Each structure stands twice: as C-alpha cells, then as structure tokens.
Structure 1
Amino acid sequence: MNVNLLNDFLFGKLFGERGCEKETLHLINPFTNKNFKSLSFELNEIKGNYKNNKKSVTDVLVMMNNDTLVNIEAQIGKQAKFHKRNHFYNSKIYSILLNVGEDYEELPMTIMINILGFNLHNLENYHTTFVLSEKINKEYTLEDIIETHYIDLARFRIKVRKNKIDLNDPKDRLTLLLDEKTPQSLIDQVIKMDEFANNIYKKNTSCFKR
C-alpha cells in the first residue's frame, strides 16, 4: 500500500510521538551520518509573538543523547524561500532554549532535516548539507552551531528512474520508503531487507485499519 508518509498527521504519528523513539532514531541517523544512541521528544509547537502573528510548528523536535537538538520537517508543496522559513524556525527554537542572562555556551548544536517535495536549488545530489563555513577557507566551519539537511524528493525520483538507487545504502532505502511515488516493487524490496522499514510499513498499515 503506497501512502504519503509525509502527510502531517501520519508523519507525526510515525515519528513524532513518545513510543516512536526507535523509529525516529532510525530516521535521523542515516540522513545525518551520525550514530545517535537515544532521544527524547521536545515541545513541537513553539509559541511567541512574531511578525504577522506567525507561529512556528515543527513536525518533529527531539533532543539526542548528546544534547544535540534535531528538528525534522516535511514540506511537499512548493514554498518560495523555504530556506528562510527554515532558519526562522531555528531562531525560535533557540529563543525558547536560552533565557535572558543565561550563558550562550548552553545553546545546543542544532540539526535541521528538511524533506522536500520540490527542488530547492540546482545541485545534483538529492541530499545536501549546509553548515556555517568561512567564505574563502571553506574547510573551516563552525561545527557546533547548526547543520541543515535538505532531502529533495523530486531529484531523488530522477535517480529512481535512472535505476541508480543503491539498496545497500540505508539513506536510499529510507528515502524510497518516505516517497509516496516509489514503485511498490521497490517498497517490497526495501521492507524485506530493512527491519526498520518493515516496522514502519506495518505501523503505517495499522494506522489505516483503525
């Protein structure tokens, strides 16, 4: 059954609630290329008085075992200047984490994972990572502040059509599972070889049977 796992309600049920820690951990590690061991769920709605009465709502907001904060958002419909909205959310996260007078050293490293149904830029890879780096000496980065990941499903589908998917790559398997346009034959292969994908698939099916 091919359903849109990135639907706000379904994505929240699969990855954004207590009891989903294992699934969410396996969503984060492949995209960040890290090996987090555990996580805890944080407040998903960040309230405040913003310009034009804006309110920040993140799909998933978790604190990892090393105090890194991870924010995951799925945005299927095209939105202009999405990267600016992304940084707006991040600034609001920081604003609630640090009270006036507190030491800035207390601010955690923040990782933003954005799963998009449209092209954000013209780079070839479907997964791109941005960090703060020095303009000339690009190898010098401020690694303990923010890391932003963009998963471009539109570009990933080109890779699927060209038969360039690597099923041994957990990131490719995960993206196949998340994309509602993935052929069922590929989904079947993924859930046979990936325990995490199989669990998510079963959980998703049970949601629709209720």
Structure 2
Amino acid sequence: MEKVKINMINDVFFKSLLCDDRHKELTLNFLNSILDRTGDRAFCDIEFLDKEIDPIIEVGKVSVLDIRAKMNDDTQINVEVQIAKPKDMKKRALYYWSKLYSYQIKEGEDYSILRDVISINLLNFKLFTEHNRCHSSCHITDDFDRKTVIRDFEMHFIELPKFKLGDIKKLRKSEKWIALFSNKCTEEELEEIAMGEPAIKKALEYQNYFMHDEKLRHKYELQEKAIRDYNSSMLAAKEEGISIGKQQGIDIGKQQEKYDMAKQMLVDGVDIKFIAKYTKLSIDDIENLK
C-alpha cells in the first residue's frame, strides 16, 4: 500500500471517511468497536441522518454534528470531533445529547417512542484531570448498587492526547481505532495494526483516494490552514498575555489560581465580599465568574 499520512481528525477527512454510505461498513466497525458491541448486540446497519438537528433562533445558532446516524434498532448516535477545547465541553456534550433525544418526539406523541441516544466525543485535548484514561464512558446508574437505571443515556469521551501505544498485539479493537485517530503512530505501527484489523487497513487505504480527489484535498488543506491559524493566534494571545502580565508585575499563574479558588468558593456558597477580601479579586471580577 502506498504510504500517505494525513491528519485523521481533520473535519473534512473524518466526515468523508465515516459519514458516507459507500463505506458505511467502516463506520459500523468504528462504532461497534468504541461501544464494545459484539454478537447479537452489534449494530448491523446504519442510516446517516441530517447533521443539522435544530436551529436555536434566539441566538442565531444551529446545532450541527459531525456524524448523526440511526442504527438498525433505532438507536441514535452522534459523533463529534473537537480539535480545540470549547468552554464547558461537558455541558456542550450533554446539550447535544439532549437535543437528539428530545428531537425524536413531537408534541402529543407518547414517550414510549423515545429510543436510546449514544454520544461519542472525539477530543484532541485533555478534558478530565482526575485520571489518565483516554476513554471514559457515562451512564445513568443507581448511586448504591451501580445498576443502570435508564438505558437511554450513554456518552463517551475519547481524549486523544492521553492515548499511549502499548503492545500492538494486545490492543483491543477500540484502541486500534483510537490509535489511528490519535495521529501518534508511525507508518510502521499503523501497518502492523492494519495487519490484524481489515477495517483499519481500509481506512488507511482510503487516504490515497482522498488525497487524489482534488476537491476533497482542497477542502482538507483549507481546514488544515484554519487549524494552523487558530493555533498560531492562540499562541500569540498567550504570549501577549504573559508579556503584559510581566510588564504590570502580574504572575499569570498566581492570578489563575485566584480565579480557580474564587470559583470553588462560589460553588461552596461563600459570601462574595469574603471571597474578594481573601483572593484580592474585585467584586466585579467575582460577579463575572458567577
């Protein structure tokens, strides 16, 4: 196979690979692997749906997903790739899940028609600081016996920067897909992974077709430029902030600690005036944190 290595989580490439009826067997393999569905529980068919789920008129936003699909058992799945860390990522993920869940039913219809909704968030940043797992899954369970209470809800977060390649021969199917999208593997490592997983091999081979399609390649390169420009502007803003902080005699790290402390004190219900006195932040700053 001719070796062509590209950014696997580039939005244009990702949708072209996994949101196309012509090779939906790859999408099924990806979803079943990530969700650890085998045997009778495995999804065997998929229908790609309109990715625009509901316009929010009052703020001029439209909810758009990278992949939105209905499976053979009517389960709805959404997959979202996030290159940069947005504000309140956890709430954002929950919001998108809730839109898909509520979108299934119209006024006057019975709640019994609601089907499971599974959300998969592929992240190019670290979200959870309390552990080093790259794949986290969430369900609604009882606080005491940990048994599932409502099966309709399932959410996955895959933090690609946390992925570490171990013994390739011992990789689970989900880890092989995560390895592919992590952009951390060498060509030789990917080849070895592909030898034991035909779906990964097809995904790697698709890179050649993709890069020889002039329209797709042009869109891909525009997206890559946008990513580079974003990273460059963020770095410049960070350096400028540090420079201004030094000029004003401000320790940026200590200032952030003050904000973090104030946030926690607000959560704990501490009086704003006491927070201001303790952290040396202004009342306005603390009000804004609320």
TM over 0.5: yes
**1:176 counterpart SS class:** helix
Residues 1:154 and 2:161 are matched in the alignment:
yes
Q: Distance in 2 between matches of 1:101 and 1:110?
A: 21
Pick from 193, 199, 203 the counterpart of residue 196 of structure 2: 193
The aligned counterpart of 2:110 is 103
Q: Deviations over 1:4-26 (max 9, x none)?
A: 12111111111112223211101
Residues 1:131 and 2:134 are matched in the alignment:
no
The aligned counterpart of 1:29 is 32
The aligned counterpart of 1:74 is 81
Greater relative contact order structure (CA < 8 Å, 6+ sep):
1
Task: In structure 2, give the amino acid aligned to 1:124.
Answer: N
**1:146 counterpart SS class:** strand
Pick from 82, 85, 93 the counterpart of residue 100 of structure 2: 93
Q: Distance in 1 between matches of 2:161 and 2:56?
A: 35
Contact 1:131 1:148 in 2 (8 A): yes
Deviation at 1:207, TM superposition (A): 0.6
What is the CA RMSD across the aligned residues, in angstroms?
A: 1.7
The aligned counterpart of 2:183 is 180
Task: In structure 2, give the amino acid aligned to 1:56.
Answer: S
Greater CA drift, 164-173 or 53-62: 164-173
| Structure with the higher helix share, 1 or 2 | 2
Q: TM-score, normalised by structure 1?
A: 0.90
Q: Distance in 2 between matches of 1:196 and 1:174?
A: 9
Mind listing any 5+ residue stretches in structure 2 that lack a counterpart? 214-290
Q: Distance in 1 between matches of 2:169 and 2:195?
A: 15
The aligned counterpart of 2:268 is none
Q: Distance in 2 between matches of 1:85 and 1:144?
A: 21
Q: Deviations over 1:175-209 (max 9, x none)?
A: 11112232222111112221101111111221101
Contact 2:140 2:151 in 1 (8 A): no
Summarize the Cα distance change of 1:83–1:96 in structure 2 as closer, same or farther, 3 Å threshold.
same
Mind listing any 5+ residue stretches in structure 1 that lack a counterpart? none
Q: Percent identity?
A: 26
Deviation at 1:114, TM superposition (A): 0.8
The aligned counterpart of 1:204 is 207
Residues paired across the two proteins, number: 205
Q: Distance in 2 between matches of 1:151 and 1:166?
A: 21
Contact 2:18 2:26 in 1 (8 A): yes
Summarize the Cα distance change of 1:14–1:143 in structure 2 as closer, same or farther, 3 Å threshold.
same
Summarize the Cα distance change of 1:192–1:49 in structure 2 as closer, same or farther, 3 Å threshold.
same
Residues 1:42 and 2:56 are matched in the alignment:
no
Contact 2:122 2:160 in 1 (8 A): yes
Contact 1:42 1:62 in 2 (8 A): yes
Q: Deviations over 1:89-141 (max 9, x none)?
A: 1222123211001111111101111111111112222111101123x315132
Residues 1:17 and 2:17 are matched in the alignment:
no
Contact 2:119 2:156 in 1 (8 A): yes
Q: Distance in 1 between matches of 2:103 and 2:119?
A: 16
4+ aligned runs moved over 6 Å, structure 1 = none
